[in-house]
């Protein structure tokens, strides 16, 4: 699914910390701004490059959902300042199981 197709899904405001597992297996928490069936926007001042894969964990009251995502959009701090919006990344979900959807 391309990023354009992902954007066709309705987006919902989603304000929660999302666990991001880095390539060094460090767990960082990045704030989420919105979510859809196709992906999520995470705020970060140090965005990974386009095409990077990330392991994410969304924690709910009862369950934790593990997801694999690919960075498909980057707003670096400089661009964010020009556009008066927070820096961050658009992450496209990869290989979602029907139960996870």
pLDDT tier, 7 (very low <50, low <70, confident <90, very high otherwise) = low
Span 37-82, pLDDT tens digits:
889 999 999 999 999 999 999 887 788 889 999 999 999 999 999 9
- Burial class of 36 by CB neighbour count within 10 A (0 to 12, 13 to 18, 19+): middle
The pLDDT value recorded for residue 1 is: 35
- For 18-58, the three-class secondary structure string (H helix, E strand, C coil) is EEEECCCCCEEEEEEEEECCCEEEEECCCCCCCCCEEEEEE
Question: Residues of the chain with pLDDT > 90: what percent?
Answer: 55
% the chain with pLDDT above 70:
91
- pTM assigned to the model: 0.83
Instruction: Give residue for tokens 């297996």.
Output: 25
């Amino acid at each position: 699914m391309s990023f354009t197709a992902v954007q066709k899904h309705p987006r919902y405001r989603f304000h929660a910390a999302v666990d991001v597992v880095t390539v060094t297996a460090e767990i960082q928490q990045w704030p989420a701004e919105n979510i859809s069936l196709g992906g999520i926007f995470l705020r970060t001042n140090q965005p990974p490059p386009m095409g990077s894969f990330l392991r994410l964990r969304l924690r709910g009251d009862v369950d934790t959902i593990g997801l694999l995502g690919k960075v498909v959009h980057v707003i670096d701090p400089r661009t964010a300042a020009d556009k008066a919006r927070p820096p961050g990344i658009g992450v496209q979900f990869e290989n979602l199981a029907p139960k996870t959807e």
